[in-house]
Amino acid sequence: MLKIDMHTHIIPKHLPDWSVKFGYGHFIHLDHHRPGYARMMQGDKFFREIEANCWDPQLRIDEYERYNTQVQVVCTIPVLFGYAAQPKDGLEMAMFLNDHIADLVARMPRHYVGLGTLPMQDVDLSIAELERCKNIGLKGIQIGSNINQQNLSESIFNPLWQAIEDLNMAVLVHPWEMMGQEEMRKYWLPWLVGMPAETARAICSLIFAGVMERFPGIRFNFAHAGGSFLPTLGRIEHGFHCRPDLVAIDNPINPREYVGKFWVDSATHDDQLFKYVLEMQGSKKITLGTDYPFPLGDLEVGKFIEEMGLEKNIVDDIFCNATLDWLQLPKSMFD
C-alpha cells in the first residue's frame, strides 16, 4: 500500500542570517551547536532545538521506512514564512526556501513532493512567486492562517486566489502567529489552544468571505484536521442562521455546505475525534498528515489509523488517494 504523508516540514541545513543581511528584524537563523542538532535562533533568542531530520532527506526517508511510508509532502516551517519582512526581502526568503525544496524533489521524486511558500505581505510578488513555484516543479503552496493578523477574507488577496485557481496549485493552510499567544505563554497554550482556533479562523474567513464560493477550483487542505472548525461547526452554523446581519454579509451560503469540499489532514491524535471527522468529511477528503518532524506531530505516521479497524478502502483513501486527488498527482509517480 502506498502511504503519503502530506504534512511535513523541512528546511535547508544552512540558512542565511537574514537579519544581518537585511539590516533589521529577528529572522530565524540556525546554530549547529552539536552534531545532529541545531538551535533555531530569533536574533539572540532561542526559539527551538531541531534535529537533523529537519534537513537531512536520507535520514527522513529512513525514519519513514519504519512506518512503511514512501512519500513525504514537504513545506517550510511557518516560523520561516517571513511575512513581516519588507516585501522584496520576503520574496528573497521565499525563493531561497522554494529553490531548496524544488532541488530536493527533483533529486528524489519518488520520495518527496514539494509545496512552496509565498511572500503573502505582497500579493503581486506572491503571484509571481506562485508562477515560479509551478515552473520549478512544486505542486502547491503553504500559507499561514493569518497574514500579519490580516485574515484570509481580505479582498486584497483576491488576485492571488484567482492565480492559484488558474495555475491549479494546491493550498495547505497552516496555523501560526496564534491568537492570544501573548496572554497565554504558559503550558504551551498557543500550540494547544491557539493553533486549533487559528485554523478555524482561516476556514471561517475563506467561507464567509466567499473565497471558497468564488474559487471552487482551489483545493484547500487544512492542518490538524481543520483545528476546531469541524467540532464547533454547530455553533458556527447557528451563528450564521441567527445573525446573518453579522455572519452572512459576504456569502449567503450555509458554512456546512463546504464540508467535504476541502481536505483536512489526519492529525487528531485521537480515535474518537478521527471518527467524528471521518463521518463529516468522508475518507476522500482526509489526507494522512503528521506535522513531522516536530514533537506535537503524529510521529508514528498514521499508526493509530491502522489500528482503528477501518475498512481497507477507507484507509487506502486516507493514506494515498485523498492526497493524490488533492495534489492531482498520478499514483504511478511513486511506482
State which residue, 119 or 226, has the beta carbon closest to its own copies: 226
Q: Does residue 234 bind its own copies (CB under 8 A)?
A: yes
Within 180-219, the residues that bind its own copies by CB under 8 A are: 180, 183-184, 186-189, 191-197, 200-201, 204-205, 208-209
Contacts of 240 (CB under 8 A, 6+ apart): 247, 248, 254, 255
Please state the closest distance from residue 54 (CB atom) to its own copies, in A. 16
Task: Give the total of residues touching its own copies (CB under 8 A).
Answer: 55
State which residue, 158 or 232, has the beta carbon closest to its own copies: 232
Within 121-180, the residues that bind its own copies by CB under 8 A are: 146, 149-151, 153, 179-180
Closest listed residue to residue 56, CA positions, set 32, 84, 79, 80: 32
Q: Does residue 306 bind its own copies (CB under 8 A)?
A: no
Interface pick for its own copies out of 99, 131, 237, 306 (rule CB under 8 A): 237
Contacts of 297 (CB under 8 A, 6+ apart): 267, 290, 291
Is the link from the previous residue into 293 a cis peptide, with omega within 30 of 0? Answer: yes
Please state the closest distance from residue 3 (CB atom) to its own copies, in A. 21
Looking at the chain, which runs of residues are DSSP E strands? Answer: 4-9, 28-34, 37-42, 45-51, 71-75, 112-117, 140-144, 170-174, 220-222, 263-265, 286-287
Alpha carbon distance, N-terminus to C-terminus of the chain: 11
Q: Does residue 254 bind its own copies (CB under 8 A)?
A: no
Please state the φ and ψ torsions of residue 110, each to the nearest 5 degrees: -85, -10
State the residues that interact with its own copies by CB under 8 A.
146, 149-151, 153, 179-180, 183-184, 186-189, 191-197, 200-201, 204-205, 208-209, 224, 227-228, 231-239, 242-243, 246-247, 249-250, 267-270, 272-273, 276, 279-280, 295-296
